[in-house]
Amino acid sequence: MRLTKVPRYSVTELERRAETLLRDRCGWPPTIPVDIESLVDQEPGLLLDILPGLQELCGVAGLARYEPDTDTMRIIIDAEVADHPSASFYRFTVAEEFAHVLLHREIMAQVRTLEDLLALHAWRSYHEIDRNAKRLAAALLMPTITVAQEARRVYPALVKAAGFGDPAAVQAHLEERVARLHGVSASAMRYRLKEWPLRITQKVERAMRERLAFLE
């Protein structure tokens, strides 16, 4: 396996790519939760498949593999992940592997064997491509426009019920409710709410501090 130079992506570029893809394939604002399987199905030369025992065999919940006989990229997800009662881990795993295909197709096309997969994960630059794939996956599953809209919709009811005395509780409830609407975990939403360009966590903190019943 010959690993090449890592493509460079700014956060702005990753956010822009997510918005462009959603606009083209889902409309804007997209319906939530975003249908990640439909996004994969619409990508030329890409298939989504489920495989029992993938985690046991390869130590990963999902992977993207190139199949030279058909010139096809295939996203493979472990069957237990796909069948888990909570769909959030499955959805994010699919989104992350999809992001790898979109951002790192030339690199992922070299993954054809278990040895290739192990070499990729041991590569000194893997942390960078993994970080970018996770960020693009988050932007696809948690679009800026819908996260902001739902946070502004949910916040007034939370402070009306709980008051301004427990900002941490209001933050936690907001994270959980907006996460559930988007079909992701509360921890994934927590990161998303803190990040640019949303910065919702900081807006909630300021609103609670100033005793505002709305988010700016």
The predicted structure's pLDDT at residue 102: 96
Per-residue H/E/C for 140-202: HHCCHHHHHHHHHHHHHHHHHHHCCCCHHHHHHHHHHHHHHHHCCCHHHHHHHHHCCCCCHHH
Q: Is residue 169 assigned to a domain?
A: yes
Domain with 185 in it: 144-209
Domain count, the chain: 2
Block mean pLDDT (10 aa), the chain, length 216: 79 97 96 97 96 93 92 95 93 98 90 85 90 97 98 96 93 97 97 96 96 94
- Which of 87, 120, 141 is where one domain is finished? 141
For residue 62, the domain's CATH number is: 1.10.10.2910
Does one domain contain both 133 and 159? no
Does one domain contain both 45 and 101? yes
Task: Give this prediction's pTM.
Answer: 0.94
Query: Which long-range contacts does 194-201 make (Cβ < 8 Å, 24+ apart)?
Result: 195/11, 195/138, 196/11, 197/15, 197/144, 198/144, 198/147, 198/148, 200/147, 200/148, 200/151, 200/174, 201/171
- Which of 141, 160, 179 is where one domain is finished? 141
Does one domain contain both 126 and 24? yes
